[in-house]
Chains A and B, each alone.
Chain A
Amino acid sequence: MPHPIHGRRAVILLALGLTTAAAHADDVPTAVPAAAPAAVSGISMSGISVSGFGTVGAVHSSDTHADFTSSVLKSSGAGASRRWSADVDSRLGLQIDAALGKRWSAVLQMVSEQGLDNTYRPRVEWANVKYQATPELALRVGRIALPMFLTAEYRKVGYIYPWVRPPVEGYGAVPITSSDGADATLRWNLGRVRNSSQVFFGHADQAVVPPQRAYARGVLGLTNTSDWGALSVRVGVIGGEITTVLAKPLFDALAGAGPAGAALVRTYAIDHKHVNVFSLGASYDPGDWFLMGEASRTNTHSLLGATRSAYASAGWRHGTWTPYLTWARVDAVGATSSPGLPLDGLPPALAARAAALNAGLNTLLATIPQQRSVSAGVRWDLCANTALKFQYDRVTPRAGSRGTLINLTPGFASGRTTHVASVVVDFVY
Protein backbone atom coordinates (compact mmCIF):
# COMPACT_ATOMS: atom_id res chain seq x y z
CA MET A 1 0.00 0.00 0.00
CA PRO A 2 2.43 2.64 -1.24
CA HIS A 3 -0.09 5.44 -1.23
CA PRO A 4 -0.74 5.77 2.55
CA ILE A 5 2.98 5.45 3.32
CA HIS A 6 3.72 8.21 0.87
CA GLY A 7 1.05 10.33 2.54
CA ARG A 8 2.43 9.73 6.00
CA ARG A 9 5.94 10.65 4.92
CA ALA A 10 4.68 13.86 3.44
CA VAL A 11 2.97 14.81 6.67
CA ILE A 12 6.00 13.93 8.79
CA LEU A 13 8.21 16.03 6.54
CA LEU A 14 5.70 18.82 6.69
CA ALA A 15 5.57 18.60 10.47
CA LEU A 16 9.35 18.84 10.67
CA GLY A 17 9.40 21.71 8.17
CA LEU A 18 6.84 23.63 10.18
CA THR A 19 9.03 23.38 13.24
CA THR A 20 11.82 25.36 11.67
CA ALA A 21 9.44 27.95 10.34
CA ALA A 22 7.64 28.28 13.65
CA ALA A 23 10.87 29.22 15.38
CA HIS A 24 10.71 32.43 13.37
CA ALA A 25 7.01 33.08 13.81
CA ASP A 26 6.47 36.45 15.39
CA ASP A 27 3.36 35.59 17.37
CA VAL A 28 5.11 33.19 19.74
CA PRO A 29 4.68 35.04 23.05
CA THR A 30 8.37 35.59 23.70
CA ALA A 31 7.44 38.97 25.14
CA VAL A 32 6.25 37.20 28.25
CA PRO A 33 8.99 36.28 30.70
CA ALA A 34 9.16 32.53 31.16
CA ALA A 35 6.22 32.12 28.82
CA ALA A 36 6.08 29.19 26.46
CA PRO A 37 3.27 27.69 24.44
CA ALA A 38 3.29 24.87 26.94
CA ALA A 39 2.26 21.36 26.05
CA VAL A 40 0.40 19.35 28.66
CA SER A 41 3.92 19.21 29.94
CA GLY A 42 6.91 17.48 28.41
CA ILE A 43 9.30 19.28 26.18
CA SER A 44 8.07 22.58 24.91
CA MET A 45 9.95 24.78 22.49
CA SER A 46 8.73 27.62 20.36
CA GLY A 47 6.24 26.14 17.91
CA ILE A 48 6.82 22.47 18.61
CA SER A 49 5.66 20.43 21.54
CA VAL A 50 6.22 16.79 22.33
CA SER A 51 3.81 15.02 24.60
CA GLY A 52 2.90 11.47 25.24
CA PHE A 53 0.75 9.04 27.12
CA GLY A 54 0.91 5.48 28.26
CA THR A 55 -0.65 2.71 30.24
CA VAL A 56 1.05 -0.20 31.97
CA GLY A 57 -1.46 -2.76 33.09
CA ALA A 58 -2.10 -6.33 34.10
CA VAL A 59 -5.42 -8.15 33.77
CA HIS A 60 -6.57 -11.44 35.30
CA SER A 61 -9.59 -13.40 34.07
CA SER A 62 -11.30 -16.31 35.81
CA ASP A 63 -12.46 -18.01 32.59
CA THR A 64 -9.78 -20.24 31.09
CA HIS A 65 -11.94 -21.01 28.03
CA ALA A 66 -11.77 -17.56 26.41
CA ASP A 67 -9.66 -14.41 26.43
CA PHE A 68 -10.94 -11.16 27.87
CA THR A 69 -9.49 -8.19 26.02
CA SER A 70 -10.19 -4.55 25.25
CA SER A 71 -10.68 -4.65 21.47
CA VAL A 72 -11.29 -7.15 18.69
CA LEU A 73 -8.11 -5.79 17.12
CA LYS A 74 -6.03 -7.63 19.76
CA SER A 75 -4.53 -11.08 19.24
CA SER A 76 -4.84 -12.30 22.84
CA GLY A 77 -5.89 -11.34 26.32
CA ALA A 78 -6.34 -12.76 29.80
CA GLY A 79 -8.01 -16.11 30.42
CA ALA A 80 -7.40 -18.86 27.87
CA SER A 81 -4.03 -17.70 26.53
CA ARG A 82 -2.72 -16.93 30.01
CA ARG A 83 -4.31 -16.15 33.35
CA TRP A 84 -2.61 -12.75 33.65
CA SER A 85 -2.12 -10.59 30.59
CA ALA A 86 -0.26 -7.32 30.17
CA ASP A 87 -1.52 -6.97 26.59
CA VAL A 88 -5.12 -5.93 27.31
CA ASP A 89 -4.48 -2.29 28.24
CA SER A 90 -0.74 -1.59 27.95
CA ARG A 91 0.29 0.92 25.34
CA LEU A 92 2.57 3.85 24.69
CA GLY A 93 1.77 6.95 22.65
CA LEU A 94 3.89 9.83 21.42
CA GLN A 95 2.56 13.04 19.90
CA ILE A 96 4.38 15.86 18.18
CA ASP A 97 2.50 19.10 17.63
CA ALA A 98 4.00 21.73 15.39
CA ALA A 99 2.58 25.20 15.06
CA LEU A 100 3.22 27.67 12.28
CA GLY A 101 1.84 31.00 13.30
CA LYS A 102 -1.72 31.38 14.48
CA ARG A 103 -3.48 29.48 11.71
CA TRP A 104 -1.51 26.41 10.65
CA SER A 105 -0.46 23.43 12.73
CA ALA A 106 0.43 19.80 12.21
CA VAL A 107 0.24 16.78 14.48
CA LEU A 108 1.76 13.32 14.39
CA GLN A 109 0.70 10.69 16.91
CA MET A 110 2.26 7.21 17.09
CA VAL A 111 0.80 4.45 19.25
CA SER A 112 2.41 1.16 20.20
CA GLU A 113 0.09 -1.55 21.51
CA GLN A 114 -0.59 -5.20 20.92
CA GLY A 115 -2.26 -5.74 17.56
CA LEU A 116 -3.75 -8.71 15.76
CA ASP A 117 -0.26 -9.74 14.68
CA ASN A 118 0.74 -10.00 18.37
CA THR A 119 3.42 -7.34 18.03
CA TYR A 120 3.70 -3.84 19.47
CA ARG A 121 4.77 -2.35 16.16
CA PRO A 122 3.97 1.38 16.40
CA ARG A 123 1.15 2.60 14.21
CA VAL A 124 0.50 6.11 12.95
CA GLU A 125 -2.69 6.96 14.79
CA TRP A 126 -2.87 10.50 13.47
CA ALA A 127 -0.93 12.59 11.01
CA ASN A 128 -2.80 15.66 9.96
CA VAL A 129 -2.45 19.30 9.10
CA LYS A 130 -4.88 21.78 10.58
CA TYR A 131 -5.90 25.19 9.30
CA GLN A 132 -7.67 27.35 11.87
CA ALA A 133 -9.63 29.51 9.43
CA THR A 134 -11.24 31.53 12.22
CA PRO A 135 -11.23 31.02 16.00
CA GLU A 136 -14.43 28.99 15.45
CA LEU A 137 -13.67 27.05 12.26
CA ALA A 138 -10.92 24.43 11.98
CA LEU A 139 -10.17 22.35 8.89
CA ARG A 140 -7.96 19.24 8.96
CA VAL A 141 -6.57 16.94 6.30
CA GLY A 142 -4.75 13.68 6.92
CA ARG A 143 -5.20 10.84 9.37
CA ILE A 144 -7.77 11.97 11.91
CA ALA A 145 -9.42 10.43 14.97
CA LEU A 146 -12.84 9.07 14.04
CA PRO A 147 -15.45 11.36 15.53
CA MET A 148 -17.37 8.84 17.59
CA PHE A 149 -18.90 8.51 21.01
CA LEU A 150 -18.12 10.56 24.11
CA THR A 151 -14.67 9.14 24.73
CA ALA A 152 -13.74 7.33 21.51
CA GLU A 153 -11.33 9.99 20.29
CA TYR A 154 -9.18 9.57 23.38
CA ARG A 155 -9.93 5.97 24.31
CA LYS A 156 -6.23 5.14 24.08
CA VAL A 157 -5.33 7.80 26.68
CA GLY A 158 -6.33 6.15 29.95
CA TYR A 159 -5.27 9.12 32.05
CA ILE A 160 -8.17 11.19 30.67
CA TYR A 161 -11.03 8.96 31.81
CA PRO A 162 -11.78 7.49 35.25
CA TRP A 163 -11.96 3.81 34.23
CA VAL A 164 -9.30 1.27 33.38
CA ARG A 165 -10.84 1.19 29.86
CA PRO A 166 -14.02 2.52 28.24
CA PRO A 167 -16.86 -0.05 28.46
CA VAL A 168 -16.03 -2.77 25.91
CA GLU A 169 -19.73 -3.31 25.16
CA GLY A 170 -20.17 0.18 23.77
CA TYR A 171 -16.82 0.82 22.20
CA GLY A 172 -16.35 -2.61 20.64
CA ALA A 173 -18.78 -1.69 17.86
CA VAL A 174 -16.22 0.56 16.20
CA PRO A 175 -12.74 -0.78 16.94
CA ILE A 176 -11.12 1.45 14.32
CA THR A 177 -10.11 4.74 15.91
CA SER A 178 -8.80 6.80 13.02
CA SER A 179 -9.18 7.19 9.30
CA ASP A 180 -7.73 9.15 6.41
CA GLY A 181 -9.64 12.11 5.11
CA ALA A 182 -10.67 15.64 5.92
CA ASP A 183 -12.88 17.26 8.51
CA ALA A 184 -14.27 20.60 9.53
CA THR A 185 -15.16 21.62 13.08
CA LEU A 186 -17.28 24.66 13.82
CA ARG A 187 -17.80 26.07 17.30
CA TRP A 188 -20.95 28.06 17.88
CA ASN A 189 -22.94 29.37 20.82
CA LEU A 190 -26.64 29.20 21.46
CA GLY A 191 -27.18 31.42 24.48
CA ARG A 192 -24.97 29.87 27.15
CA VAL A 193 -24.81 26.50 25.38
CA ARG A 194 -21.45 26.00 23.65
CA ASN A 195 -21.62 23.74 20.63
CA SER A 196 -19.00 22.09 18.51
CA SER A 197 -20.13 20.51 15.25
CA GLN A 198 -17.90 18.31 13.18
CA VAL A 199 -18.24 16.78 9.75
CA PHE A 200 -15.77 14.15 8.56
CA PHE A 201 -15.24 12.40 5.25
CA GLY A 202 -12.64 9.77 4.50
CA HIS A 203 -11.69 6.12 4.32
CA ALA A 204 -9.93 3.56 6.48
CA ASP A 205 -7.74 0.56 5.81
CA GLN A 206 -7.29 -1.79 8.76
CA ALA A 207 -5.21 -4.96 8.96
CA VAL A 208 -7.45 -7.75 10.27
CA VAL A 209 -5.70 -11.12 10.31
CA PRO A 210 -2.55 -10.40 8.29
CA PRO A 211 -2.35 -10.32 5.37
CA GLN A 212 -6.11 -9.85 5.35
CA ARG A 213 -7.41 -6.32 5.61
CA ALA A 214 -10.68 -4.53 6.11
CA TYR A 215 -11.53 -1.45 4.08
CA ALA A 216 -14.02 1.25 4.86
CA ARG A 217 -14.86 3.57 1.99
CA GLY A 218 -16.92 6.71 1.84
CA VAL A 219 -16.91 7.15 5.60
CA LEU A 220 -19.08 10.13 6.49
CA GLY A 221 -19.37 11.23 10.09
CA LEU A 222 -21.34 14.00 11.77
CA THR A 223 -21.14 14.85 15.45
CA ASN A 224 -22.31 17.65 17.64
CA THR A 225 -21.20 18.28 21.20
CA SER A 226 -23.12 20.72 23.38
CA ASP A 227 -21.68 21.95 26.66
CA TRP A 228 -23.78 23.80 29.17
CA GLY A 229 -21.94 24.26 32.43
CA ALA A 230 -21.11 20.80 33.79
CA LEU A 231 -23.38 19.08 31.28
CA SER A 232 -22.04 17.77 28.00
CA VAL A 233 -24.18 16.05 25.38
CA ARG A 234 -22.78 14.43 22.27
CA VAL A 235 -24.73 13.06 19.36
CA GLY A 236 -23.04 11.36 16.45
CA VAL A 237 -23.75 9.40 13.34
CA ILE A 238 -21.17 7.74 11.16
CA GLY A 239 -21.63 5.62 8.06
CA GLY A 240 -19.52 3.94 5.46
CA GLU A 241 -19.17 1.01 3.13
CA ILE A 242 -16.99 -1.80 4.41
CA THR A 243 -15.36 -4.73 2.70
CA THR A 244 -13.18 -7.47 4.10
CA VAL A 245 -12.04 -10.83 2.81
CA LEU A 246 -12.49 -12.28 6.30
CA ALA A 247 -14.06 -15.76 6.07
CA LYS A 248 -13.56 -15.76 2.31
CA PRO A 249 -13.25 -19.59 2.04
CA LEU A 250 -16.64 -20.01 3.73
CA PHE A 251 -18.35 -17.51 1.45
CA ASP A 252 -16.65 -18.94 -1.64
CA ALA A 253 -18.01 -22.37 -0.71
CA LEU A 254 -21.49 -20.97 -0.04
CA ALA A 255 -21.44 -19.12 -3.36
CA GLY A 256 -20.91 -22.47 -5.06
CA ALA A 257 -23.88 -24.03 -3.30
CA GLY A 258 -26.68 -22.91 -5.59
CA PRO A 259 -29.26 -20.13 -5.19
CA ALA A 260 -29.69 -20.74 -1.42
CA GLY A 261 -25.93 -20.35 -0.93
CA ALA A 262 -25.80 -17.22 -3.06
CA ALA A 263 -28.60 -15.73 -0.98
CA LEU A 264 -26.63 -16.41 2.22
CA VAL A 265 -23.57 -14.73 0.70
CA ARG A 266 -25.64 -11.66 -0.16
CA THR A 267 -27.02 -11.57 3.37
CA TYR A 268 -23.87 -12.11 5.39
CA ALA A 269 -20.68 -11.43 3.38
CA ILE A 270 -18.93 -8.20 4.34
CA ASP A 271 -18.62 -7.07 0.76
CA HIS A 272 -19.42 -3.41 0.04
CA LYS A 273 -21.91 -3.41 2.92
CA HIS A 274 -23.16 -0.17 4.32
CA VAL A 275 -22.68 0.22 8.07
CA ASN A 276 -23.91 3.07 10.17
CA VAL A 277 -23.60 3.80 13.85
CA PHE A 278 -25.73 6.27 15.74
CA SER A 279 -24.74 7.32 19.25
CA LEU A 280 -26.06 9.61 21.93
CA GLY A 281 -24.09 10.28 25.09
CA ALA A 282 -24.22 12.68 28.00
CA SER A 283 -22.01 13.43 30.96
CA TYR A 284 -22.54 15.62 33.98
CA ASP A 285 -19.34 16.48 35.81
CA PRO A 286 -19.52 19.29 38.37
CA GLY A 287 -16.10 18.25 39.78
CA ASP A 288 -16.92 16.41 43.00
CA TRP A 289 -18.71 13.63 41.17
CA PHE A 290 -19.66 12.58 37.67
CA LEU A 291 -22.43 10.74 35.94
CA MET A 292 -22.28 9.66 32.33
CA GLY A 293 -24.17 7.42 29.98
CA GLU A 294 -24.26 6.61 26.32
CA ALA A 295 -26.36 4.55 23.97
CA SER A 296 -25.55 3.51 20.45
CA ARG A 297 -27.10 1.59 17.62
CA THR A 298 -25.18 -0.16 14.84
CA ASN A 299 -26.96 -1.08 11.63
CA THR A 300 -25.59 -3.38 8.95
CA HIS A 301 -26.80 -6.24 6.82
CA SER A 302 -23.86 -8.60 7.17
CA LEU A 303 -22.38 -11.07 9.63
CA LEU A 304 -21.26 -8.09 11.72
CA GLY A 305 -24.89 -7.91 12.77
CA ALA A 306 -26.99 -5.05 14.04
CA THR A 307 -26.51 -4.25 17.71
CA ARG A 308 -27.53 -1.74 20.30
CA SER A 309 -25.43 -0.94 23.32
CA ALA A 310 -25.65 1.24 26.38
CA TYR A 311 -23.65 2.04 29.45
CA ALA A 312 -23.97 4.20 32.52
CA SER A 313 -21.23 5.14 34.95
CA ALA A 314 -21.01 7.21 38.11
CA GLY A 315 -18.13 8.18 40.37
CA TRP A 316 -17.30 10.33 43.34
CA ARG A 317 -14.09 12.29 43.81
CA HIS A 318 -12.73 12.29 47.36
CA GLY A 319 -9.39 14.08 47.26
CA THR A 320 -7.13 11.92 45.12
CA TRP A 321 -9.52 8.92 45.15
CA THR A 322 -12.29 8.37 42.63
CA PRO A 323 -14.36 5.24 43.20
CA TYR A 324 -16.78 4.47 40.38
CA LEU A 325 -19.40 1.99 39.20
CA THR A 326 -20.24 1.10 35.61
CA TRP A 327 -23.03 -0.90 34.04
CA ALA A 328 -22.93 -1.84 30.38
CA ARG A 329 -24.69 -4.07 27.91
CA VAL A 330 -24.75 -4.87 24.22
CA ASP A 331 -27.53 -6.78 22.46
CA ALA A 332 -28.11 -8.03 18.96
CA VAL A 333 -31.01 -6.57 17.06
CA GLY A 334 -32.32 -9.46 15.01
CA ALA A 335 -31.19 -13.03 14.49
CA THR A 336 -27.76 -14.23 15.57
CA SER A 337 -28.10 -17.64 13.96
CA SER A 338 -29.17 -18.90 10.57
CA PRO A 339 -30.74 -22.16 9.38
CA GLY A 340 -28.21 -21.90 6.55
CA LEU A 341 -28.40 -24.17 3.52
CA PRO A 342 -31.41 -26.49 3.40
CA LEU A 343 -30.23 -30.08 3.96
CA ASP A 344 -33.49 -31.84 2.99
CA GLY A 345 -33.15 -34.13 0.02
CA LEU A 346 -29.40 -33.75 -0.32
CA PRO A 347 -27.29 -36.88 -0.81
CA PRO A 348 -25.47 -37.77 2.46
CA ALA A 349 -22.05 -36.55 1.28
CA LEU A 350 -23.37 -33.16 0.16
CA ALA A 351 -25.58 -32.86 3.25
CA ALA A 352 -22.53 -33.33 5.51
CA ARG A 353 -20.64 -30.69 3.58
CA ALA A 354 -23.60 -28.28 3.72
CA ALA A 355 -23.99 -28.91 7.46
CA ALA A 356 -20.32 -28.05 7.97
CA LEU A 357 -20.80 -24.78 6.06
CA ASN A 358 -23.89 -24.01 8.16
CA ALA A 359 -21.90 -24.64 11.33
CA GLY A 360 -19.13 -22.35 10.09
CA LEU A 361 -21.64 -19.60 9.31
CA ASN A 362 -23.26 -19.91 12.73
CA THR A 363 -19.88 -19.80 14.46
CA LEU A 364 -19.33 -16.43 12.79
CA LEU A 365 -22.81 -15.21 13.70
CA ALA A 366 -22.15 -16.09 17.35
CA THR A 367 -19.47 -13.40 17.31
CA ILE A 368 -22.21 -10.75 17.14
CA PRO A 369 -21.78 -9.49 20.68
CA GLN A 370 -24.46 -9.92 23.34
CA GLN A 371 -23.12 -9.23 26.78
CA ARG A 372 -23.76 -7.57 30.10
CA SER A 373 -21.19 -6.36 32.55
CA VAL A 374 -20.98 -4.62 35.88
CA SER A 375 -17.76 -2.97 36.95
CA ALA A 376 -16.49 -1.39 40.15
CA GLY A 377 -13.20 0.39 40.39
CA VAL A 378 -11.16 3.14 41.91
CA ARG A 379 -8.81 5.70 40.42
CA TRP A 380 -6.04 7.07 42.60
CA ASP A 381 -4.26 10.20 41.32
CA LEU A 382 -0.71 9.62 42.47
CA CYS A 383 0.51 12.98 41.16
CA ALA A 384 -0.48 15.53 38.53
CA ASN A 385 0.28 13.25 35.59
CA THR A 386 -0.03 9.68 36.90
CA ALA A 387 -3.03 7.67 38.05
CA LEU A 388 -3.25 4.16 39.47
CA LYS A 389 -6.49 2.28 38.88
CA PHE A 390 -8.01 -0.97 40.10
CA GLN A 391 -11.12 -2.41 38.48
CA TYR A 392 -13.23 -5.52 38.88
CA ASP A 393 -15.60 -6.57 36.09
CA ARG A 394 -18.30 -9.23 36.03
CA VAL A 395 -18.66 -9.99 32.33
CA THR A 396 -21.50 -12.22 31.11
CA PRO A 397 -21.84 -13.10 27.41
CA ARG A 398 -25.44 -14.10 26.72
CA ALA A 399 -27.82 -15.83 24.36
CA GLY A 400 -25.25 -18.09 22.72
CA SER A 401 -22.94 -15.17 21.96
CA ARG A 402 -19.29 -14.99 22.93
CA GLY A 403 -19.80 -11.34 23.80
CA THR A 404 -16.57 -9.39 23.46
CA LEU A 405 -14.41 -12.41 24.38
CA ILE A 406 -11.91 -13.81 21.89
CA ASN A 407 -9.87 -17.00 21.38
CA LEU A 408 -12.62 -19.36 22.54
CA THR A 409 -11.73 -22.96 23.42
CA PRO A 410 -14.23 -25.88 23.26
CA GLY A 411 -15.03 -25.54 26.98
CA PHE A 412 -16.47 -22.03 26.52
CA ALA A 413 -20.12 -21.59 27.48
CA SER A 414 -22.15 -18.49 26.75
CA GLY A 415 -24.09 -17.34 29.81
CA ARG A 416 -21.28 -18.05 32.26
CA THR A 417 -19.95 -15.02 34.14
CA THR A 418 -16.27 -14.20 33.86
CA HIS A 419 -14.59 -12.32 36.69
CA VAL A 420 -11.95 -9.88 35.50
CA ALA A 421 -9.53 -8.00 37.74
CA SER A 422 -7.35 -5.21 36.35
CA VAL A 423 -4.64 -2.93 37.65
CA VAL A 424 -3.15 -0.17 35.51
CA VAL A 425 -0.94 2.86 35.81
CA ASP A 426 -1.85 5.63 33.37
CA PHE A 427 0.41 8.57 32.68
CA VAL A 428 0.77 11.57 30.41
CA TYR A 429 3.96 13.53 29.86
Chain B
Amino acid sequence: MTRSPLPRRLAAALLLAALALSATAGELVVVVSAKSAVTALRPDQVAAIFLGQSARFPDGSEAVPLDQPVGAPLRDAFYLRVTSKTPPLLKAWWSKMVFTGRGQPPAEARDSAAVRRYVADNPDTVGYIDRSALDASVRAVMVVQ
Protein backbone atom coordinates (compact mmCIF):
# COMPACT_ATOMS: atom_id res chain seq x y z
CA MET B 1 0.00 0.00 0.00
CA THR B 2 1.70 3.22 -1.13
CA ARG B 3 0.98 6.44 0.67
CA SER B 4 -1.03 9.22 -0.96
CA PRO B 5 0.90 12.20 -2.31
CA LEU B 6 1.65 14.74 0.41
CA PRO B 7 -0.50 17.60 -0.99
CA ARG B 8 -3.57 15.36 -1.06
CA ARG B 9 -2.93 14.15 2.48
CA LEU B 10 -2.42 17.74 3.60
CA ALA B 11 -5.66 18.82 1.94
CA ALA B 12 -7.51 15.92 3.56
CA ALA B 13 -6.02 16.80 6.94
CA LEU B 14 -7.01 20.45 6.57
CA LEU B 15 -10.53 19.46 5.56
CA LEU B 16 -10.88 17.12 8.52
CA ALA B 17 -9.49 19.76 10.85
CA ALA B 18 -12.00 22.28 9.52
CA LEU B 19 -14.84 19.84 10.05
CA ALA B 20 -13.64 19.13 13.57
CA LEU B 21 -13.49 22.73 14.80
CA SER B 22 -15.49 21.93 17.91
CA ALA B 23 -13.68 18.68 18.74
CA THR B 24 -11.49 18.72 21.80
CA ALA B 25 -10.09 15.19 22.00
CA GLY B 26 -6.37 14.55 21.51
CA GLU B 27 -4.75 12.95 18.51
CA LEU B 28 -6.40 9.75 17.36
CA VAL B 29 -4.92 6.82 15.53
CA VAL B 30 -6.66 3.98 13.74
CA VAL B 31 -5.03 0.69 14.70
CA VAL B 32 -4.89 -2.94 13.62
CA SER B 33 -3.02 -5.82 15.21
CA ALA B 34 0.76 -5.88 14.74
CA LYS B 35 0.10 -9.37 13.28
CA SER B 36 -2.14 -7.90 10.56
CA ALA B 37 -0.85 -7.45 7.01
CA VAL B 38 -2.63 -4.08 6.71
CA THR B 39 -0.20 -1.16 6.74
CA ALA B 40 -2.27 1.90 5.81
CA LEU B 41 -5.92 2.88 5.37
CA ARG B 42 -7.48 5.93 3.77
CA PRO B 43 -10.12 7.90 5.72
CA ASP B 44 -12.85 6.80 3.29
CA GLN B 45 -11.89 3.15 3.82
CA VAL B 46 -11.98 3.57 7.60
CA ALA B 47 -15.33 5.39 7.33
CA ALA B 48 -16.81 2.58 5.20
CA ILE B 49 -15.74 -0.10 7.69
CA PHE B 50 -17.07 1.80 10.73
CA LEU B 51 -20.34 2.72 8.99
CA GLY B 52 -21.06 -0.88 7.99
CA GLN B 53 -20.61 -0.23 4.26
CA SER B 54 -17.59 -2.46 3.86
CA ALA B 55 -16.52 -5.59 5.71
CA ARG B 56 -13.08 -5.97 4.17
CA PHE B 57 -9.67 -4.37 4.29
CA PRO B 58 -8.25 -3.18 0.95
CA ASP B 59 -6.28 -6.45 0.64
CA GLY B 60 -9.53 -8.43 0.72
CA SER B 61 -9.29 -9.84 4.25
CA GLU B 62 -12.32 -9.46 6.53
CA ALA B 63 -12.48 -6.30 8.66
CA VAL B 64 -14.41 -6.05 11.93
CA PRO B 65 -14.70 -2.59 13.53
CA LEU B 66 -14.47 -2.13 17.30
CA ASP B 67 -15.93 1.07 18.73
CA GLN B 68 -15.39 3.23 21.79
CA PRO B 69 -18.42 3.68 24.10
CA VAL B 70 -21.33 5.96 23.23
CA GLY B 71 -20.74 9.39 24.73
CA ALA B 72 -16.92 9.11 24.85
CA PRO B 73 -15.34 12.36 23.54
CA LEU B 74 -12.86 10.24 21.59
CA ARG B 75 -15.70 8.51 19.76
CA ASP B 76 -17.49 11.77 18.91
CA ALA B 77 -14.24 13.29 17.59
CA PHE B 78 -13.46 10.16 15.53
CA TYR B 79 -16.82 10.12 13.78
CA LEU B 80 -16.89 13.87 13.23
CA ARG B 81 -13.45 13.82 11.63
CA VAL B 82 -13.66 10.59 9.66
CA THR B 83 -17.34 10.49 8.68
CA SER B 84 -18.46 14.13 9.21
CA LYS B 85 -21.23 12.81 11.47
CA THR B 86 -22.29 14.37 14.76
CA PRO B 87 -23.71 12.01 17.44
CA PRO B 88 -27.33 12.61 16.29
CA LEU B 89 -26.38 12.01 12.64
CA LEU B 90 -24.51 8.85 13.60
CA LYS B 91 -27.54 7.73 15.58
CA ALA B 92 -29.74 8.41 12.55
CA TRP B 93 -27.29 6.46 10.36
CA TRP B 94 -27.39 3.36 12.55
CA SER B 95 -31.13 3.68 12.96
CA LYS B 96 -31.31 3.52 9.17
CA MET B 97 -29.05 0.46 9.04
CA VAL B 98 -30.88 -1.36 11.85
CA PHE B 99 -34.41 -0.49 10.72
CA THR B 100 -33.71 -1.52 7.13
CA GLY B 101 -32.11 -4.79 8.22
CA ARG B 102 -28.69 -3.87 6.83
CA GLY B 103 -26.67 -4.30 9.96
CA GLN B 104 -25.94 -3.60 13.59
CA PRO B 105 -23.44 -1.05 14.94
CA PRO B 106 -19.94 -2.23 15.92
CA ALA B 107 -19.28 -3.83 19.27
CA GLU B 108 -17.82 -1.47 21.87
CA ALA B 109 -14.87 -1.70 24.21
CA ARG B 110 -14.52 0.36 27.39
CA ASP B 111 -11.57 2.61 26.50
CA SER B 112 -8.44 2.96 24.37
CA ALA B 113 -6.50 0.38 26.40
CA ALA B 114 -9.33 -2.17 26.03
CA VAL B 115 -9.57 -1.50 22.29
CA ARG B 116 -5.79 -1.92 21.92
CA ARG B 117 -5.78 -5.21 23.85
CA TYR B 118 -8.61 -6.69 21.77
CA VAL B 119 -7.23 -5.42 18.46
CA ALA B 120 -3.75 -6.79 19.28
CA ASP B 121 -5.19 -10.31 19.71
CA ASN B 122 -7.55 -10.19 16.70
CA PRO B 123 -5.96 -9.48 13.32
CA ASP B 124 -9.39 -9.01 11.66
CA THR B 125 -10.33 -6.16 14.03
CA VAL B 126 -9.77 -2.45 13.50
CA GLY B 127 -10.15 0.17 16.23
CA TYR B 128 -9.21 3.74 17.03
CA ILE B 129 -7.38 4.89 20.13
CA ASP B 130 -5.76 7.92 21.67
CA ARG B 131 -2.20 8.19 20.34
CA SER B 132 -0.86 8.00 23.89
CA ALA B 133 -2.26 4.45 24.20
CA LEU B 134 -0.18 3.15 21.26
CA ASP B 135 2.31 0.35 21.86
CA ALA B 136 4.10 -2.33 19.80
CA SER B 137 1.16 -4.77 19.96
CA VAL B 138 -0.77 -2.72 17.43
CA ARG B 139 0.02 -0.83 14.23
CA ALA B 140 -1.25 2.68 13.46
CA VAL B 141 -2.69 2.58 9.93
CA MET B 142 -4.12 6.09 9.86
CA VAL B 143 -3.68 9.26 11.88
CA VAL B 144 -6.94 11.10 12.49
CA GLN B 145 -6.37 14.85 12.52
CB-CB under 8 A from B114, the residues of chain A are: 32-35
* Min CB–CB distance B1 → chain A (angstroms): 15
- Inter-chain contact A145/B48, CB cutoff 8 Å: no
> How far is it, in angstroms, between the C-alpha of A229 and the C-alpha of B85 when the chains are bound?
13
In the complex formed, the residue of B with least CB distance to A159 is B95
- With beta carbons under 8 angstroms apart, the residue of B70, B98, B101, B107 that contacts A130 is B101
Nearest Cβ on chain B to A7's Cβ, whole angstroms: 17
Contacts of B109-127 to chain A: CB distance below 8 A: 109-110, 114, 118, 121-122
Query: Nearest Cβ in chain A — how far from B142, in angstroms?
Result: 16
Place the interface of chain B in its size category.
35 or more
A31 adjacent to B121 (CB under 8 Å)? yes
Give A contacts to B, CB under 8 Å: 29, 31-41, 49, 51, 53, 93, 95, 97, 99, 107, 109, 126, 128, 130, 135-136, 140, 144-145, 153-154, 157, 159-161, 187, 189, 192, 194, 227, 229-230, 286-288, 317, 320, 381, 384-385, 387, 428
29 A-B contact pairs sorted by A residue (CB < 8 Å): A32-B66, A32-B118, A33-B109, A34-B109, A35-B114, A36-B108, A37-B104, A38-B106, A38-B107, A39-B98, A39-B104, A39-B105, A40-B94, A40-B105, A41-B70, A53-B99, A97-B98, A97-B104, A135-B55, A135-B62, A153-B100, A154-B95, A157-B95, A159-B91, A160-B95, A187-B53, A287-B19, A287-B86, A428-B91
Contact in complex: A384, B108 (CB < 8 Å) = no
Interface centre among A40, A97, A194, A288 (most CB of B within 10 A): A40
**Interface contact A29-B104, CB-CB below 8 Å:** no
Among A95, A145, A154, max chain B CB count under 10 A is at: A154
Name the one of A34, A51, A126, A140 contacting B110, with C-beta atoms under 8 angstroms.
A34
Residues of A within 8 A of B105 (CB): 38-40
- For residue B10, CB closer than 8 A to chain A, the reply is no
Residues of A within 8 A of B99 (CB): 51, 53, 93, 95, 109, 154, 157, 160, 428
Q: Out of B84, B86, B109, which one reaches A32, CB within 8 Å?
A: B109
